[in-house]
Structure 1
Amino acid sequence: MDGLEAVDSVEVLILVDNATDNLSTVPSFVETEFAALERRRRGTWVMGGKCICCAAHGLACLISVRKGSNTRTILFDTGPEDGTFEQNVSRLGVDLGPVEAIVLSHGHWDHAGAVLRALQLIRDRNGGQLVPCYLHPDMFRTRAIKRQDGSMKLMEAVPGIDELTSYGASAINTAEPQLLAGGTAYLSGEIPRVTAFERGFPGQCRLILDGMGWEPDELIIDERFVAVNVKEKGLVVFTACSHAGVINVLTHAKSSFPDLPLHALLGGLHLVGQNGRIIPETVKAMEAFDLDIIAAGHCTGWRAMTALANSFGNGKLVPLSVGKRFLFSAGA
């Protein structure tokens, strides 16, 4: 897409993730939750359970893009439920007032369960202004996982357009790619499925529109990614779950911006469950993209993390955890 501006830096604060890890060492461009508490409270905080974040099955990222003296802020997903989201925002000392848009990556509860509370918290700090909320029309379908006996395990639904609107969202409900935050970030359209081995989310189904039965929904076509172009570095790609397959995600990012290198990948790779079988093919295929940083977490799974560590080493792999702050900047 034409018009994506190069920016000086992008800072990413992990508000929700499956893991918490304040003891492992990190590279210079990453700050842990404990380090942030030490810096913000100038060494006066007392280490204890009442001041730290909680991990939960889900993902929420606060993305702040800086160009010159201007900073634009996007909330990419909200995690699974209100309590975890609000507690982590509070304990990290985050002001949500500058958030100018929410992107829901796809229609799963672990990424959109706290969106209504997020809207309330943002509007409490922005003077009650409406918040643009980027959505895909298919994310509101009723979904379930098909059990071995043929029965369906229902998933919690994503809040609908009317409910989002009643909480102050200005809905942009389209499958088309978009430029966000004054052209400093890109939201993809639907991700083409081009690999032979990535098949989505095995076993997922959705309710037929007439409500009279179920149909396969393994591809999760509503999932999309966000990308930012950092000067001198290239694209930082944010993928929430990679249900499309992370190789399809990276392939589409590269084809969308063929003149830009891929610098970093951040998010969940969903190489768990039946998708654990494609870990070797996925890790091998990732080598061709020559990423500088792989910041994987959420639904990636420990087997895939081990394979990524074995293939790419500590120089490239930086696991996500709640409270971590990543800074991708020009010249750094």
Structure 2
Amino acid sequence: MTALHEVDSAEIHVLVDNVTDSLSSVPSFVETELAGLGRRRHGHWVLAGSCLCCAAHGLSCLVTVRHGDVAKTLLFDTGPEDRTFEQNVSRLGADLSTVEAIVLSHGHFDHGGAMLRALQIIRDRNGGREIPYYAHPEMFRSRALKMPNGSMLMLEDVPSIEALTAYGAKVVNTTEAQSLFGGMAYVSGEIARVTPFERGFPGQHRRTLDGKGWELDELIMDERFVAVNVAGKGLIVFTACSHAGVVNVLKQAKASFPDVPLYAVAGGLHLSGANERIIPETVAALRDFGLTVIAAGHCTGWRAVTALANEFGDKTLVPLAVGKRFSF
């Protein structure tokens, strides 16, 4: 079993998400974008549009874990494109020089579109050091969505291994689970599909290996989650899109570390679009995990967020938004 040691604390800083929201009240362990801006600038400052982050369809988080005097930071996805990522990093004052690993959750552009620019920024600030980059071989297949008229809507490819390497990534390309930072963080292997109602991403296809046609790829087996184990709390599970199904994700996390309680899940739950039909089953199944925090965002969708709020209340449901900082 891949090691996962207890850490003293974990922090999530949301760099990219589908929404921006600094006006809603938040629990004490969450700081909003505007609160963070005021804290960093101190004294007198003028709130203006030039201070604010942009929302975009995608997700990117800085995850920092601490144990004693040791702090380790990984970048989990980058969102869809360079401009949003770079602007939000700048306006949030996010320190990318501390990033020691990058994890791409799965091979979709809204999670990997700014990877090359992220590598440039990180290496500009860390003295040019190479960055471990955790990937799955199937992430690099070309993908498309089959439209009602039978045509294929192409999805932009994520950067290739060759491009990543040229930009200073040391690509770890494997289907197996990986231990990061000496066991302070964990990247899952392929997620077992055991829940009957969670069937992936309806209509997604990928190029056949000979490059001549398309084949159904609704399960998206390259998707992985990241987990950390915070002392006194338990597992914090980061799931960027939950194409595997958030219930499958949490079942695998629990099976991987059976002696560690589940504490929080953070990320996109992909209960929008065609998957709105499984909102009731998903919400019902989530009750069994006893989660203290559900930090849902990105592709979760407002209908699912509403259903989660109605079921779990605002002591458990804490939606993601650009610039939010979660401290566990």
Normalised by the length of structure 1, the TM-score is: 0.98
Whether the aligned pair in 2 keeps the contact of 1:276 and 1:304 (CA below 8 Å) is yes
3-state secondary structure, aligned to 1:179: strand
Alignment of 1:32-181 (within 5 A): 32-181=32-181
Whether the aligned pair in 1 keeps the contact of 2:225 and 2:240 (CA below 8 Å) is yes
In structure 1, list runs of 5 or more residues that go unmatched. Answer: none
Q: Which residue of 1 aligns with 2:325?
A: 325
Q: Separation in 2 of the partners of 1:123 and 1:265?
A: 30
Q: Separation in 1 of the partners of 2:323 and 2:79?
A: 13
3-state secondary structure, aligned to 2:303: helix
| Alpha-carbon shift at residue 182 of structure 1 (Å) | 2.0
**What is the letter of the counterpart of residue 138 of structure 1?**
E
**What is the letter of the counterpart of residue 23 of structure 1?**
L
Query: C-alpha root-mean-square deviation of aligned residues, in Å?
Result: 0.6
Q: Which residue of 2 aligns with 1:13?
A: 13
Q: Separation in 2 of the partners of 1:309 and 1:263?
A: 17
Normalised by the length of structure 2, the TM-score is: 0.99
Q: Separation in 1 of the partners of 2:171 and 2:239?
A: 21
Q: Deviations over 1:119-170 (max 9, x none)?
A: 0000001100101000000000010000111110000001100000000000
Q: Deviations over 1:150-208 (max 9, x none)?
A: 11000000110000000000000001000012210000000000011000000000010
Q: Which residue of 1 aligns with 2:262?
A: 262
Alignment of 1:198-277 (within 5 A): 198-277=198-277
| Alpha-carbon shift at residue 2 of structure 1 (Å) | 4.5
**What is the letter of the counterpart of residue 262 of structure 2?**
L
Q: Separation in 2 of the partners of 1:7 and 1:61?
A: 18
Q: Separation in 1 of the partners of 2:220 and 2:98?
A: 31
Q: Which residue of 2 aligns with 1:314?
A: 314
Whether the aligned pair in 1 keeps the contact of 2:62 and 2:75 (CA below 8 Å) is yes
Q: Which 4+ runs in 1 deviate beyond 4 A?
A: none
| Alpha-carbon shift at residue 212 of structure 1 (Å) | 1.4
Count of aligned positions: 328
In structure 2, list runs of 5 or more residues that go unmatched. Answer: none
| Alpha-carbon shift at residue 263 of structure 1 (Å) | 0.3
Whether the aligned pair in 2 keeps the contact of 1:74 and 1:181 (CA below 8 Å) is no
Q: Separation in 1 of the partners of 2:55 and 2:143?
A: 25
What percent identity do the matched residue pairs reach? 69
